[in-house]
């Protein structure tokens, strides 16, 4: 039996981006070079080009056609290891507008928000698009990811990063410019969304529209940087009703040094990235059964000031403004990688060895 050419179950039609993850290096591929000191350099292969360091260069032509996992010689004689970056490497080295969700948190979001193939998922904000890529991989070509971003410059960087990673505009991805509170109700019908992922300063301001869009039983997961944000999400949801009790956690990942008898934790680690909190949407008109356990003594005592009533500013929550000049440069770099898949002038923000959480 012959399958139609557009049948996505046909092994000859790989899922979007899968063919770029395999096989020998091709022109346009991003390649991660590790130098003898363990430093990472990300380049995009282009025939005839060279990657320069202060001691000499590596020729792109020596890599094009070579298998992934190759050692290439630098003009100084040093060996450089060449590997295709994994998604977790890519998001840490790609051009960034906003702070990205780290791979350890992206993995937990996909698992604990139960992002499944074919799901309809809403995400806000898009930022640099790092989390979007994990979500797109999880929903697959037959799912839907509706991402909302209120800043046009960030949305442009994210879309260029996605195009560079998947090699094309991912068919499941729609990026909508605007505030989630305004745009979600006009984009997704009530009860039509399976999962919502919020990575923004004030997710509590979006709970009403998210609750409306989510199907009964749907999952909301919020990624927040501070305890005040965490508390505000939880208390706003409790006050509103229609949600399960929030479940919150943080995760610390400690890398290990592995060398002969020197097997020990790395000296440095990312002590804090963010907190995750999940809630599930109840059916219309249903409120969660009263908790059997009473709140801890003093939890809502006379010293308790409901954080939901406090005014806040982005600076209060630790947000640092990014200069327009830097953003223009980042957007230019992201566009160059996506369009040509053939420029090696991208500023390398790759982490030092052992730094990736
Ligand atoms: C930390 S970034 C998101 C990073 C992204 N998850 C990633 O991994 O690259 C937060 C983004 O949310 C956007 N944002 C904040 N509030 C928003 C809202 N109400 N609607 C849409 N976007 C919003 C901001 O402009 C910012 O780009």
Indicate if 25 and 172 belong to the same structural domain: no
For 212-215, which contacts have Cβ atoms below 8 Å and span 24 or more sequence positions?
Answer: 212/185, 213/122, 213/184, 213/185, 213/188, 213/189, 214/281, 215/191, 215/281
Which domain range does residue 122 map to? Answer: 89-284
Residue 61 has pLDDT above 80, yes or no: yes
- pLDDT at position 106 is 98
Q: Is the CB of 127 under 6 A from ligand 1?
A: yes
Q: Is the CB of 98 under 6 A from ligand 1?
A: yes
Residue to substitute in 95, 96, 98 for testing ligand 1 pocket (most ligand atoms within 8 angstroms of CB):
98
Atom of ligand 1 nearest to the CA of 148: 21
More confident residue, 216 or 319: 216
Q: Is the CB of 100 under 6 A from ligand 1?
A: yes
Q: Which of 85, 118, 136 is the last residue of a domain?
A: 85
3-state secondary structure at position 256: strand
Indicate if 70 and 57 belong to the same structural domain: yes
Atom of ligand 1 nearest to the CA of 197: 6
| Cα(128) to centroid(ligand 1), Å | 9
- Domain containing residue 30: CATH number: 3.10.330.20
Element (H, E) at 278: strand 275-280
Q: 184, 208 in Cβ contact below 8 A?
A: no
| Cα(206) to centroid(ligand 1), Å | 12
Indicate if 68 and 93 belong to the same structural domain: no
| Cα(200) to centroid(ligand 1), Å | 5
Q: How many CA atoms lie within 13 A of 225 on its CB side?
A: 16
Indicate if 105 and 171 belong to the same structural domain: yes
- pLDDT at position 348 is 40
The arithmetic mean of pLDDT across residues 51-65, rounded, is 96
What is the number of domains present in the chain? 2
The arithmetic mean of pLDDT across residues 330-356, rounded, is 55
Q: 154, 126 in Cβ contact below 8 A?
A: yes
Q: Which of 61, 85, 109 is the last residue of a domain?
A: 85
Indicate if 93 and 234 belong to the same structural domain: yes
Neighbours of 81 (CB within 10 A): 15
What pLDDT digit, counting tens, does each position of 226-243 carry?
999 999 999 999 999 999
Q: Is the CB of 128 under 6 A from ligand 1?
A: yes
């Amino acid at each position: 039996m012959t399958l139609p050419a557009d049948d996505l179950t046909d092994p000859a039609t790989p899922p979007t981006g899968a063919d770029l993850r395999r096989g020998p290096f091709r022109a346009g591929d991003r390649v991660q070079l590790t130098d003898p000191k363990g430093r990472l350099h990300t380049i995009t292969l282009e025939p005839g080009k060279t990657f320069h360091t202060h001691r000499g260069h590596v020729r792109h032509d020596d890599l094009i056609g070579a298998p992934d996992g190759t050692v290439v010689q630098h003009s100084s004689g040093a060996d450089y290891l060449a590997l295709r970056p994994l998604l977790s490497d890519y998001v840490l080295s790609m051009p960034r507008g906003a702070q990205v969700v780290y791979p350890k948190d992206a993995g937990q979001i996909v698992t604990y928000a139960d992002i499944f193939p074919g799901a309809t998922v809403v995400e806000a904000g898009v930022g640099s698009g790092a989390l979007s890529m994990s979500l797109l991989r999880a929903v697959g070509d037959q799912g839907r990811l509706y991402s909302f971003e209120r800043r046009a410059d960030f949305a442009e960087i994210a879309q260029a990063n996605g195009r560079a990673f998947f090699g094309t505009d991912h068919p499941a991805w729609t990026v909508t410019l605007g505030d989630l509170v305004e745009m979600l109700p006009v984009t997704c019908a009530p009860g039509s969304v399976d999962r919502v992922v919020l990575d923004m300063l004030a997710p509590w301001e979006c709970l009403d529209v998210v609750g409306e869009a989510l199907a009964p039983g749907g999952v909301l997961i919020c990624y927040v940087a501070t305890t005040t944000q965490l508390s505000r999400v939880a208390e706003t949801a409790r006050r509103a009703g229609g949600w399960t009790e929030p479940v919150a956690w943080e995760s610390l990942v400690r890398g290990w040094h592995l060398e002969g008898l020197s097997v020990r934790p790395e000296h440095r680690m990312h002590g804090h990235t963010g907190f995750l909190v999940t809630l599930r949407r109840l059916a219309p008109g249903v409120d969660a059964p009263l908790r059997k356990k009473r709140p801890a003594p003093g939890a809502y005592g006379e010293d308790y000031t409901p954080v939901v009533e406090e005014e806040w500013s982005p600076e209060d929550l630790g947000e640092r403004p990014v200069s327009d000049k830097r953003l223009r440069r980042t957007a230019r770099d992201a566009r160059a990688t996506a369009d040509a898949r053939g420029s090696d002038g991208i500023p390398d923000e790759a982490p030092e060895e052992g730094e990736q959480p």
